[in-house]
């Protein structure tokens, strides 16, 4: 994780990075160069990330937008900054494709765990990650199954945050003159949840942005659209704050199951089917931690010139 050289200064702000891919797969190496930044592209169920393992790198929003650009940069839903602490402990930050910083990312945590294992930490080792949304533990249960302790869902409106006079199972909310019933949950980052009859006909691209920027969501919010199949299975589409609809959202899957459990629609173990694949979520209920299990894959490594 050490030895890469950083090349980002105040004079570089607003410049578009040049991507020089120098290898692929888990054993790929990056070529150190002046004013260069090593990165690794990762994905979890199609939710993709650029992982930068250089603690001295201090990005601004223009850097993040340039890296995330799918035509002129590497392309990703989020940029993850990783800082090794000691042994199996790490600190991380999450930036959305629009340059804003997020508190949490469930798929991102699985990818960071896979990244650490690929660098030589033995599988089955319990990893600890510290981020703005709290502390989380992750463990590789099998080559393609990483289990993350996502912590206890937060349900008080002030902790989400969501504007409401008091906590409730669900809340009425007005969008463009239409009233919807939503759940509100924080998994270290805010989520609004809506149950729908058919995901295929739900206007996610319209309702998602409207709810993301709703006045009752002071820090904006992720928006999950839930179709209940049975007590052990649900389908989910997520409009992510600052990124738009993604193929998968780990924290969104966790929030969807938490609300569905509170509403007594599902059992403690739920298979969540997203556009990019399937996550397994386990939650016994209030005052218990919630667990997410799913895959994460290293795609390629390269060098950015900023």
> What pLDDT digit, counting tens, does each position of 227-253 carry?
999 999 999 999 999 999 999 999 999
| pTM, to two decimals | 0.86
Q: How many CB atoms lie within 10 A of CB 287?
A: 7
Q: 76, 105, 140, 254: which is the annotated catalytic residue? A: 105
Q: 140, 217, 249, 254: which is the annotated catalytic residue? A: 249
| Whether 249 is catalytic | yes
Residue pLDDT, tens place only, 23-47: 444 444 444 445 688 999 999 999 9
Residue pLDDT, tens place only, 128-137: 999 988 899 9
Topology given in CATH for the domain delimited by 157-288: Diaminopimelate Epimerase; Chain A, domain 1 (3.10.310)
Q: Which of the following CATH numbers is that of domain 10-147+296-305: 3.40.50.300, 3.40.1400.10, 3.30.565.10, 3.10.310.10?
A: 3.10.310.10
What's the pLDDT band for 22 if we cut at 50, 70, 90? very low
Residues 6+ apart with CB under 8 A from 201: none
Q: How many CB atoms lie within 10 A of CB 200?
A: 9
Residue pLDDT, tens place only, 77-128: 999 999 999 889 999 999 999 999 999 999 999 999 999 999 889 989 999 9
Q: Are strands 233-240 and 222-230 parallel, antiparallel or unpaired?
A: antiparallel
| Whether 105 is catalytic | yes
Among all chains, which residue has been given the structure tokens 């599988």? 123
So what's the pLDDT on residue 167? 98
Q: Is the pLDDT of residue 203 over 80?
A: yes
So what's the pLDDT on residue 35? 65
Angle between helices 106-118 and 250-262 (to 10 degrees): 130
d(CA 81, CA 190): 20
Query: Does 157-288 match 10-147+296-305 at the fold level?
Result: yes
Q: Are strands 222-230 and 190-195 parallel, antiparallel or unpaired?
A: parallel
Domain-wise residue ranges, the chain: 10-147+296-305, 157-288
Among all chains, which residue has been given the structure tokens 């929003």? 61
């Amino acid at each position: 994780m050490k030895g890469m050289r950083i090349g980002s200064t105040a004079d570089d702000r607003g410049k578009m990075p040049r991507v020089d891919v120098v290898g692929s797969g888990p054993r790929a190496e990056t070529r150190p160069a002046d004013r260069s930044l090593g990165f690794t592209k990762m994905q979890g169920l199609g939710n993709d990330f650029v992982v930068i393992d250089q603690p001295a790198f201090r990005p601004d929003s223009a850097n993040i937008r340039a890296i995330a650009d799918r035509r002129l940069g590497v392309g990703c839903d989020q940029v993850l900054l990783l800082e090794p602490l000691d042994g199996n402990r790490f600190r991380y930050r999450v930036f959305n494709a629009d340059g804003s910083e997020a508190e949490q990312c469930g798929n991102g945590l699985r990818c960071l765990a896979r990244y650490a294992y690929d660098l030589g930490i033995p599988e089955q080792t319990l990893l600890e990650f510290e981020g703005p949304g709290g502390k989380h533990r992750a463990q590789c249960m099998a080559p393609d199954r990483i289990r993350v302790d996502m912590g206890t869902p937060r349900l008080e409106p002030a902790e989400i945050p969501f504007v409401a006079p008091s906590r409730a199972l669900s809340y009425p909310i007005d969008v463009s003159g239409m009233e919807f019933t939503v759940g509100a949950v924080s998994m270290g980052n805010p989520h609004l949840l809506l149950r729908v009859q058919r995901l295929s006909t739900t206007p996610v691209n319209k309702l998602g942005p409207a709810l993301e920027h709703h006045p009752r969501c002071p820090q904006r919010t992720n928006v999950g659209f839930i179709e209940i199949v049975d007590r052990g299975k649900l389908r989910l589409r997520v409009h992510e704050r600052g990124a738009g609809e993604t193929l998968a959202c780990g924290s969104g899957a966790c929030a969807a199951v938490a609300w569905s459990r509170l509403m007594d629609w599902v059992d403690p173990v739920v298979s969540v089917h997203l556009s990019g694949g399937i996550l397994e979520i386990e939650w016994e209920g209030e005052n218990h931690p919630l667990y997410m299990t799913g895959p994460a894959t290293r795609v390629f490594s390269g060098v950015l010139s900023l």
